[in-house]
Amino acid sequence: MKVLVINSGSSSLKYQLFNMETEGMQAKGLIQRIRINDSFLEYENSSGEEIVIEKDIPTHKFGIELLLETLLSEDHGVLESIDEVEAVGYRIVHGGEGFAHSTIIDKQAIKKLEEVADLEPLHTPPNIMGIKVCQELMPDKPQVGVFDTAFHHSMFESIYLCPAI
């Protein structure tokens, strides 16, 4: 099973492709300066080969499309077909009170994320955009959100109410 993990920010996107059978990383990298001059994609595959693609990246959608093209590239790609990716995971900073656990991202989850987007305005809108793009490009793949705030749901009240000494 191969899982693509994406962490979208306001002008960047970090990614890793994992092979869950071997528990190894197949590719990783960063897309920088989305919507800004001098954009680029950094890419490293499991063989240690590193490349940088300098290209205008006007939107997160364009960046994700470029990432998928790179993963499928004959020269340095690690996938023969996008069908090898069985799921897409997202690091989402703030899920509000509605997300206490990792969650399958469907239309209802996107609606809830849009309702709390103002809690983390630099990350949540790009995350939602990335999710929608991946749903469009890989419609049959499960999309899963993992929330930083889910960690805080499991803290004891005495810990989050009392200051550290």
What is the spatial distance between Cα 8 and Cα 58, in angstroms, rounded to a whole number? 14
Pairwise CA distance, residues 130 & 132, whole Å: 5
Mean per-residue pLDDT, 50-70: 95
Read off the pLDDT band of 32 (50, 70, 90). Answer: very high
Q: Could you give the percent of the chain with pLDDT greater than 90?
A: 73
Q: How far apart are CA 102 and CA 110, in angstroms?
A: 14
Q: Assess whether pLDDT exceeds 90 at residue 150.
A: no
| Distance in angstroms (rounded) separating the CA atoms of residues 108 and 139 | 16
Structure token digits, residue 120: 């983390």
- Tell me the mean pLDDT in the region 138-158: 84
Catalytic machinery residues: 148
Question: pTM of this prediction?
Answer: 0.88
**Mean pLDDT of the region 27-46:** 96
The 10 Å Cβ neighbour count of residue 27 is 24
- Strands (DSSP E) contained in 20-122 are 24-32, 40-45, 50-54, 85-92, 103-104
**Of the candidates 29, 28, 33, 30, which has an alpha carbon nearest to the alpha carbon of residue 56?**
33
pLDDT of 164 reads 62
- Mean pLDDT taken over the chain: 91
Q: 40, 47 in Cβ contact below 8 A? A: no
Domains along the sequence of the chain with CATH? 2-153 (3.30.420.40)
CB 31 within 8 A of CB 57: yes
- What are the distances in angstroms from CA 53 to CA 34, 47, 132? 13, 18, 24
Nearest to 42 by CA among 29, 23, 24, 58: 29
